[in-house]
Amino acid sequence: MLAAASSSTKPFTLFDSVPDDYMQFGLGTGFNAKAVQGFLNLKKEDVSRLASVSPKSVRFDEAMPEPVRERLEEIAQTINLVARVFDGDVDKTVAWFKARNPLLGDVSPRDMIRLGRFERLRKFIVNAMLEARSEGAAPSPELPG
């Protein structure tokens, strides 16, 4: 499922103390939820469905609802996990999220998120990375898709 990566690929760990921000979404108080929305080309309605809030309450300023912030931070962390596999290559990460993936029912990862199947996608990514690690190979830029 995953091919061996070059030795330059950073090893995958689930519990890094400081996550890498390859996609420049920001961390902590500097988190830019609007950048995540833009990366995935999500509509306001998509964000409201993901965060289980009213579309009227979706906003990206200091009054952003906490469920919106939390959900988009989770998604940003997952996007950065995939970016790590591609050694931080933004173009490859974008392409992976947009491409239909036969292992995801011929649906793109972006659409999995948009359609409310983020948890399934996240588990798929983490399991693929853990599987590669248990096989002694670092995850490679050949994540299925």
Q: What integer pLDDT is reported at residue 63 of this predicted model? A: 94
- Whole-number average pLDDT of the chain: 85
Q: How confident is the model at residue 135 (pLDDT cuts 50, 70, 90)?
A: confident
Structure tokens at 84: 């790590």
Mean pLDDT of 3-17: 45
Q: Report the pLDDT value the prediction gives residue 92, as an integer from 0 to 100.
A: 97
pLDDT band at 9 (very low <50, low <70, confident <90, very high): very low
Pair 108, 97: CB distance under 8 Å: yes
Give domain status of residue 77, yes or no.
Answer: yes
Q: Are 70 and 6 in contact (CB under 8 A)?
A: no
Residue 60 forms part of a structural domain = yes
Domain around 100: 28-134
Task: Kindly report the pTM of this predicted structure.
Answer: 0.81
In angstroms, the Cα distances linking 16 to 6, 24, 82, 84 are: 21, 17, 15, 12
How many domains, the chain? 1
Q: Which residue has the higher pLDDT, 80 or 4?
A: 80
20 part of a folded domain? no
**Which pLDDT score is estimated for 82?**
95
| H-helix segments, the chain | 33-40, 44-51, 66-85, 90-98, 109-114, 118-134
